[in-house]
Amino acid sequence: MPEILKQYENIADRESDGKGRLFGYASLVKIHTNEKPESSKGIPNERARLPGMEVAMNVLAAGEQEFRGTRDTYTDEKGAQKKFANVGVYAGLEPATSPDGYAEGLTITTRPEDRKSSLMAYIKRELGNPPDGISLNDLFDPAAKVKFDALKNTPQDDFGMYKFQVVDVELDNGKKAPAITVATNEKSKFSAIGISPAQAAHLILDGQGYKRILGETRCGGDGLDYFKDNVIAVMKELGFNQPRLTQIDQEVEKLAGIYAKAHDTLDRIKPPPKEEQKIFNSLVEAGLKGVYSPFFRDGENVNERDTVPLQEKQMPDNRMPHTATEKFARIADLQKNNKTSHSR
């Protein structure tokens, strides 16, 4: 991080106007209050394009924070411990699938004096609060590397699900400018780089995080809400051309239709619990050949959640669906509510 900041500031001073720029996409475009210091409010943000990269849904959302995805255990009616997963997925940058691919976004632009404070706010937003014993200032201290190395393969390893990098963006006025952005860290256990639009849709519909209140802010919830509100709505409102996201959105609608039919079938025949997963597999396989299922996933891409702190902050309506029937019912309700809230 010290090298990235130094490189960024040197390039901005030497080759540009010295302003700070964060290349934002998805939720950063929608809300960037902390990343835009008060002293820079009068500086307009700029539409920008990043060649060679695309916005995709490629970060598994089942880390320690669990805002949009979970992994946990529950006790069934016979007292047995069972695993379940509502994994979810966040937006992230990854290499474009074609030579002429690009990402469209908005630069959060600040005065030169605000470059570091804007970046610090961005770091806190994307990486969260560092684990105990580490401060954000440690990111700029080369001697603190040993602290971060100690996080590997621990529940706090999701602190590195994104990587910061300096990029050249193309502004609407035809000029190029250096900016800092985050791409998905391909070395992270949370990386889902390269999944198909259908696989992304599967994760988006499955994702459900624990809702909670942090200060005055409501956080967490369904992956579908995150995708529709923070990704697709932003893209449509600003007229960004993002074919990958459009294709994922189409797959979400198609898959939701498959799930709705499956839910109707299960509700009509009311199978015993031991048959639910078998019926689920046959129904989904019929419409989703070759798409892996995160239902009841037991891979290494997710961590056990830290139950005590989250329980203290949770809102009261946080019961997670455990079985295929419960998941189908929840997805059917989500899609119904989503169509109503996004009808305009």
The helix (run of H) or strand (run of E) holding residue 6 is helix 2-15
* Helix ranges (DSSP H) in 110-150: 115-127, 145-149
User: What per-residue confidence (pLDDT) applies to 294?
Assistant: 44
Q: What is the DSSP string of 44-103?
A: PPEEEEEETEEEEEEEE--SSS-SS-EEEEEE-TTS-EEEEEE--EEEEEEE-SSTT-EE
User: What per-residue confidence (pLDDT) applies to 51?
Assistant: 96
Residues whose CB falls within 8 Å of the CB of residue 273, separated by 6 or more in sequence, listed in order: 323
- Other Cβ atoms less than 10 A from the Cβ of 55: the count is 24
Confidence of residue 310 (pLDDT cuts 50, 70, 90): low
Q: Which of 123-137, 202-216, 219-233, 270-284 has the lowest mean pLDDT?
A: 270-284
pLDDT at 308 over 90: no
- CB 36 within 8 Å of CB 168: no
User: What per-residue confidence (pLDDT) applies to 321?
Assistant: 77
Percent of the chain with pLDDT over 70: 74
CA pair distance 239, 244, nearest whole angstrom: 14
185 burial level (CB within 10 Å; 0-12, 13-18, 19+): middle
Range of the domain at 229: 2-341
CA pair distance 33, 19, nearest whole angstrom: 17
- CB 107 within 8 Å of CB 21: yes
User: What per-residue confidence (pLDDT) applies to 316?
Assistant: 61
Q: Considering the entire predicted model, what is its pTM? A: 0.81
CA pair distance 316, 324, nearest whole angstrom: 23
pLDDT at 186 over 50: yes
Instruction: Identify the CA nearest to 12 among candidates 26, 23, 28.
Output: 23
Instruction: Identify the CA nearest to 96 among candidates 183, 16, 34.
Output: 183
- CB 172 within 8 Å of CB 238: no
Instruction: Identify the CA nearest to 34 among candidates 90, 108, 105.
Output: 108
The tally of domains found in the chain comes to 1
- Other Cβ atoms less than 10 A from the Cβ of 186: the count is 12
CA pair distance 98, 26, nearest whole angstrom: 21
Separation of CA 20 from chain center: 24
Residues whose CB falls within 8 Å of the CB of residue 3, separated by 6 or more in sequence, listed in order: none
Instruction: Identify the CA nearest to 94 among candidates 52, 65, 142.
Output: 52
User: What per-residue confidence (pLDDT) applies to 299?
Assistant: 40
Angle (CA) 322-324-328 rounded to 5° is 105
User: What per-residue confidence (pLDDT) applies to 218?
Assistant: 74
CA pair distance 187, 318, nearest whole angstrom: 31
- CB 295 within 8 Å of CB 280: yes
User: What per-residue confidence (pLDDT) applies to 48?
Assistant: 96
Mean pLDDT throughout 17-39?
92
Residues whose CB falls within 8 Å of the CB of residue 154, separated by 6 or more in sequence, listed in order: none
- 107 or 159, which is more confident? 107
- 206 or 298, which is more confident? 206
E strands, 117-273, are: 162-171, 176-184, 212-214, 217-219
